[in-house]
Amino acid sequence: MDDLREPARDSSTLQEVSVADNTSSRHSVLWLALDQGGHASRALVYDGTGKQIVQAFAPINTQRMGQDRVEHDPLEILESLRIVIADVAQSLGSDVRRIQGAGLATQRSSIVCWDARDGTPLSPVLSWQDRRNQALIDTLQPHREEIQRITGLVLSPHYGASKLRWCMDELPAVRNAYQQQHLQCGPLASYLLRGLLNEHPHVVDPANASRTQLWSPATGEWSSPLLQRFGVPREVLPQAVATHHRYGSLQVDQCSVPLQVCTGDQAAVPFAMGALRPNSIYLNAGTGAFMLAPLSSDIGDAAPLLRSVIYSDSTQTLFALEGTVNGAGSALQWFGERSAIDVQRALPLVQRPLNNQHIPLFINAVGGLGSPYWLSNIKPEFVDTVDKDEATALTSVIESIAFMIADNVALMKRHLPPLDHIIAGGGVSASRYLCECIASLTGLSVTRTSEPELTAKGLAWLLTGQPSQWNQSTNNILYAVKPDELLTKRWQQWKQHIKNAISHF
């Protein structure tokens, strides 16, 4: 999820397995966390304290067609998960019998269509980054307030509804299956549950259901008005169930393991450190940068921020206020493809520039502007490019990520009790300068966690019964608030450029 390089096409030859020292927990029960992200599938096994025992990794391919279309092969994703499950089982040997339960976390807004009879995919996986049905979104603008009120989401082509409608309109196999009454559609999670579990269920959890933009967090059901608005039939969609639910049984070697938790990748992240921490924002900076601030209760309309469900069971539903920056790792990848710089190697080395250095401004519209601007039809570009070289251009891309994060945090402060801390993780947070910028602009200290697998570890904490004692990363870095007048000035100039760009649409 955090790898900035385009993955290789043949995942079967590149899977990786690593084994930790498990002597201290040789006789304890184990838990299997499956993390399906935009660049790879992972299987990680933890003990009941959050100690990682073994993990396996298999990359998946991403097809990008122009600026708006981003796809994956559904069969490749399904096979990549089977590969990593088999790999961890082989590494565990007879200890595979100690696995007590499993969980699955996936990309939230990605969708796919398949044949109900045998699970054959009828469409590609349309990625969360995909924006191909902007035309439908444009026609629904008069209803954007209703959609926001029901779903907690800003009307956007990134979410599943417009992509599901596109599949039904444009793909003959999908139309034929619907006419013959054997079409099933839904979030990627539903397709994977159907393909991996022995019972082949057609279900979905709240975090993934909500990102279709067809589901109401208030009722826990598909919204009839929105199904009608988007033209998606209720009968093709999965049954919505809780995050913690008896989804079915997963075959792990010769063992049948109950899959008990399913959620979205970002929804799992805040739980990686154990119990939620008050007055904190959780930032996961990977392909995109996602900020989640847990709520004590649903606060209703928070536009242009989002309201997200991050967990539910038979007794409770937990919400979060969320901000989305589409261009984080994807923006760095975009820049790397246009420069001679090895962005991954350079990212940790970028330092705060000297006062007399001229830093250009970057309109970071890679993947479209997310919150709080929500503008899809805008192209990434550098402005004020006098004396721009590649090193300073990379600095400006990093700053643009920090500027959008700071914009979201400023809005979060209006809705939440006093905030005092940001807990940051993900591959892009390896940039010391990014963390320094965030602390400076938001006025909140930043802790950069060294935990490399936030989604999987958060999923494991939910699986293990939410224990009070949870293995913590020991190499965290704290970035204190240090005001930077020149950086703040560039932030204000950047915001003015964004406003000027928006005024043209």
Q: Name which of 128-132, 426-430, 442-446, 470-474 the model is least confident about.
A: 470-474
Apex CA 440: angle with CA 278 and CA 366, to 5°?
90
Percent of the chain having pLDDT more than 90?
81
Residue 375: per-residue pLDDT: 87
- Look at residue 355 in the predicted model and tell me its pLDDT: 66
**In terms of DSSP H, where are the helices of 54-143?**
74-92, 134-139
Section 192-220 average pLDDT: 97
Question: Residue 192: left if φ>0, alpha if ψ -120 to 50, beta else—which one?
Answer: alpha
> Is pLDDT of 346 > 80?
yes
- Cα(429)–Cα(450) distance, rounded to whole angstroms? 10
Provide mean pLDDT across the span 212-234. Answer: 96
Mean pLDDT comparison of 128-132, 199-203, 273-277, 343-347, highest-scoring range: 199-203
Q: Which pair of tokens denotes residue 102? A: 């499993």
**pLDDT 10s digits, 397-415:** 999 999 999 999 999 999 9
The answer to whether 343 and 328 are in contact (CB under 8 A) is no
**Mean per-residue pLDDT, 136-149:** 95
**Is pLDDT above 70 for 13?**
no
Q: In this predicted structure, what is the pLDDT of residue 18?
A: 59
The mean per-residue pLDDT over the stretch 134-141 comes to 96
User: Where do the domains of the chain lie, and which CATH numbers do they carry?
Assistant: 108-241 (3.30.420.40)
Question: Both tokens of residue 337?
Answer: 């493809």
**Within 10 Å of residue 106's Cβ, how many Cβ atoms?**
31
Q: Which of 285-289, 300-304, 421-425 has the highest mean pLDDT?
A: 421-425
Report the distance separating Cα 438 and Cα 124, nearest Å. Answer: 37
- Count of Cβ atoms closer than 10 Å to residue 356 Cβ: 6
CA distances from residue 401 to 177, 212, 242, 327, 366 in whole angstroms, order as listed: 43, 26, 34, 7, 11
CA distance 438 to 457: 24
Question: For the chain, what percentages of helix, strand and coil (3-state, to nearest 5) are there?
Answer: 35, 25, 35
Q: Is residue 16 predicted with pLDDT exceeding 80? A: no
Greater model confidence, 189 or 28: 189
CA dist., res. 449 & res. 441, Å (int): 20
pLDDT surpasses 70 at 356: no
The rounded mean pLDDT for the chain is 91
Is the alpha carbon torsion for 45, 47, 50, 52 positive or negative? negative
How far apart, in Å, do the first and last CA atoms of the chain sit? 32
User: What is the pLDDT at residue 289?
Assistant: 96
Cα Rg, the chain, nearest whole Å? 22
Using pLDDT thresholds of 50, 70 and 90, give the confidence band for residue 2: very low
